[in-house]
Structure 1
Amino acid sequence: MLRGIRKASSNWLGKAIMMVVMGVLILSFAVWGIADIFKGFGQSTLATIGKTEISTEQFRQIYTEKLQQLGRQFGRPLTMDQARAFGLDRQVLQQTIAEAALDEEARRMKLGQSDAEIMRMIYSDPNFRGVAGNFDPARFQATIRQFGFTEQRYIAEQRRVSLRRQIAGTVSAGLEPPKVMIEALSRFQNEQRTIDYVKLNAAQAGTIDPPAPEALAAYFEDRKTQFRAPEYRKISFVVVTPEEIGKWSEVSDDEAKKIFEQNRSRLGTPERRQVSQIVFPNAEEAAAARGRLVGGMSFEDLAKERGLNPSDVDLGTIARSAIIDSAVAEAAFALPEGEISQPVPGRFGVALVKIGKIEPGVEPTYESVATTIKKEIATEQARAKVSDLYNKMEDERGGGAGVIEAAQKLGLSAVTINAVDRSGRLPDGQPVTNIPRGIDVVSQAFNSNVGVENDPIQFNGGYVWYDVLEVTASRERTLDEVKDQVEAKWRDDQITSRLRTRATEMVQKLDQGGKLADEAVAVGSKVETAKDVRRDASLPGLPASAITAAFRTPKDAVGQTAGAGGSEWIVFRVTDISVPAVDLASDDIKKLKDTLQRGLTDEQVAQYISKIEQTIGTTINRAAFAQVTGANN
């Protein structure tokens, strides 16, 4: 439930489903919070960890929410079958168990967290800020209620997450990647290769005559499953979110101007100044140093004399709010450009402040931000309407009304899709366009059936109700129905086969001393060059498969690989390999070190969690797990 509220766990999603799922570490969920572990869920228990029970229904909710989260991330639903193929089912189970293990360990160690600290965390959470930018109790209550929390339960969950962080921080304290590891990975990442290559495409495959009818029929018979018509479902749904309802709301200029005046400083661009400071232990030393500066000594020379680096002195070009010491901030923003302050008693000593370039702030006009403010106000006001419409929709559904009928009674717009497959495509192969991005209503519909009253999907602070109206079963198509597709696939296979054969012949000639330029001319192509390519490079015209193959090939050796799709093949020679020197002080190395340190931390805490699980005992109800994740379907 907290996954939708808290941003702490947002970093474990990537750009592609495989990278996302395989890149997730158990630790990131166990420490930062992903599940809500409950006791006393009756007889249906999916797992026990020490004295903690995870019920089947609780895990079902966690797992469903994870699928929905990935669906919103990628703009298309993730089916149960896809999730199992990527190992998501096992990972979510492991993550949930790991959380419970850390909670058990926190109880054993008698760790605690004060109410004051928990409240500070809640008050500072940007998810609970209203239009004015401050903590909004009404928004807090509405948000946690949206995710199924009472105030007491949400505070208890925050306390558990905080205790997990305490344990993880203690276990991983002092870890640092060794220098030899940093250097080895840097050399691996930064190695560069230059390759000469020749592309073979359909032109090099030669003329391909149409297949004989009997040959096409035999080809189709061997591959019937590839051309099978998928299952389609007719579905209807209605979306009720603050953003949607906010579109119907009218906000007056008086309301918007009031918010504008309250937040004028936040909406504009604040004045920024180039600030330098030197801190002294007492006022006497600071006064003496100022005298020398007034006498002609430069700020930089004084800093060097005191053994300070430029980074110790130069605060950069910053806004007033970015200066931690309020006394220094007040002095810095009272001085004219180029001036040096009198000694300033601050939190960390007595400071001398010098002002460089001043960038004036920009005051916003009401007209420039009116539209944005009105939208925010309308969305904020709509949150209460969402709750009201939720109750009314549930009442209508409870009385037997379908989604379309209930929506009509409440003046809402329902959407009907006559036929959609599991991947979100219409019978013509085009993706559905009238489902808002991030709503996984298709995958939910394929987990339901005609006549089933479905629970609404939580989405963007609101809800999505849906019905399955009709199911069209999957079936085998006849050759006549898909003849064009079969012919196109047959032709692609012929091209691929011929290109692979021609590329193999070219490689054999090159291995025997032939020249790549001569072979390119012989096949009617040309030699292209890619210089200083890194293994993670993305180059136009050169597919990733060719780069990967080049980094498996020794210098001066040749190789071949498939190109873009099946209609391209690439023959290449590696002409140069270079490895830049490792600069341990560079920003890239610092970033690499941080990445390695996070990895070591994750591994250390994961091992610690594993030991806890072994010590306190873990049992899993495999049958319940299979039932929740669809393995029994």
Structure 2
Amino acid sequence: MATGKTSRTFGWILMGLVMVGLVGFGSTNFGGSVRTVATVGDTEVDANRYLRELQSEMNAFQAETGQRLTMEMARGFGLDQQVLARVIATAALENETARLGISVGDAQLRDRIVDIPAFKGVDGKFDREGYTFALEQSGLTASEFEKSLRDEVSRQILQAAVVNGVATQPVYVDTLYGYARETRDFTWATLPMDQLTTPVPIPTEDELTAYYDARPQDFTLPETKVITYAWMNPEDVIPTITVDEAQIRALYDERASEYLVPERRMVERLVFGTTEDAQAAADAIAAGEKTFEDLVAERNLQLSDIDLGDLPKDELDAAGDAVFALTEPGVTGPHDSDFGPALFRMNAILEARETSYEEVREDLHGELAADAARRLISNMVTELDDQIAGGATIEEIAKSNNMRVGTLNWTAGDSEGIAAYDAFREAAEAVTTDDFPAITLLEDGGVFALRLDALQAPRLQEQSEVAEAVRAGWEAEKKLTLLAEQARGLIPQLEGGETLSSLGLTEVIEEGQTRDAFVEGTPADFMAVVFEMEQGDWRVLESDDSVVLVRLDAVQAADQDSEDAKALKASFAASTAQEIALDVENAFARAVQARAGIELNRAVINAVNAQFQ
């Protein structure tokens, strides 16, 4: 299994070497007297090798994302370090194969080369010219490529030897499968807070203090920004706006179709090829031989295909008078239509609806006034910007422009008043004490400017400040404790033959529930506790405002022998063996590198990277 994985890894690396040559048109060798980016033991990592690997990685990124990748971006993604680590790891294995004397013969190397599809001609046979051309385009000589291929096959032999025999033990697979797939049957019920029979005692000062001291996170104020703001809201400006009566009347007339709706009918239209066919259909309906729905189905249509919606009389053309003459739902026709003779079915009568000018005048006035207010505010933005740029304070621009001015202690999550606006919350989140106020538009056409006066660090409130919250929290916790004690007091009765139902609780029976099951109405750790229980045990679990009584009825072991189980375990064993083999291979590679030692030539590495600037 591990050997197969290594073989696939070899195949991908091999094809990667080939594809560098096929797609790397314009690639250049790295010149200079020093051509080594690193030395691992006695093996040198050639600069051109690092160059080609880095170019291949960048090309792959660009092909996947469609984005041109600069060297600066590549460094940001860590691509250069990944490539360097990969070529060093490969060199370390090559150094180890050389130390151990592992190599392959020329005949095996030749077989490898001629089997590579990219080197075959149109006849499916190895093409020497194509082979030479591909290597030239990649900047590789034949000897360089053949050496890299020979090294790769040698590495494959070494890697296969390292991971050979790696397998997942059956007991390991069976144990994990049994853990994941075993189930529980249990019976449970909720004891709600309104069934608490024990009075809650009056807390002592020591008890309240202990509760307060144990929960500092509940009584700590978050970071708070003291913000002063100036705010102009369209609602504040509307009372100052005068709207001409003619404008209101013009808007009403413009929307006459909304306010003066004529009588309408909900209509369906079924078109026929000839008047005779339409008449025959009408006769069949009149004789009770067919329904309108039958006729629609015969045409392979749906009612939605012939639905015209609700229409006034003048939009029904020749059928208008007949359709509107119907006093109840029915069929009329045939009548001429734009698509030929048709039957019309009227389904509902919609009476005319008229909304008078007086009924909507105030709404129209408000709409026009709001529009005018927003325009007025918009026209003031430049002037307000100029005032702030000239040094005016929040208070000064508020006074001179009749804006609201206020101060609030803002924390993340506040959404009251002006903090209900997204734009204000974003500005409040970003503002610092070094920022100058700026006029910002709001979603409803208003504007505001703010200033950060102080930044208050998170603060644990004194117990006296939160006395009511402390008492309420203590009482809620005490009630839950008393309710849990009351529930535990029921267990002897349940063990003596009573049931949850006989004790007045709503009994729920669950079967075949797995560890990750969600049972509505139970605490978050409910299933974890159930799986820790012994068969026949009772437990009491506290929730937010109730407690749960639960009994474990049965433990159902996982079926290890079903076809589904065998398939799932086989898949898990295979994937786990691959992961173990990969871990062994990586550990071996790290050990080889550590034993051989690594020397990096940063100057050459930087010079290679500079080729991509």
**TM-score bin, normalised by smaller chain:** 0.3 to 0.5
> What TM-score results when the alignment is normalised by the length of structure 1?
0.46
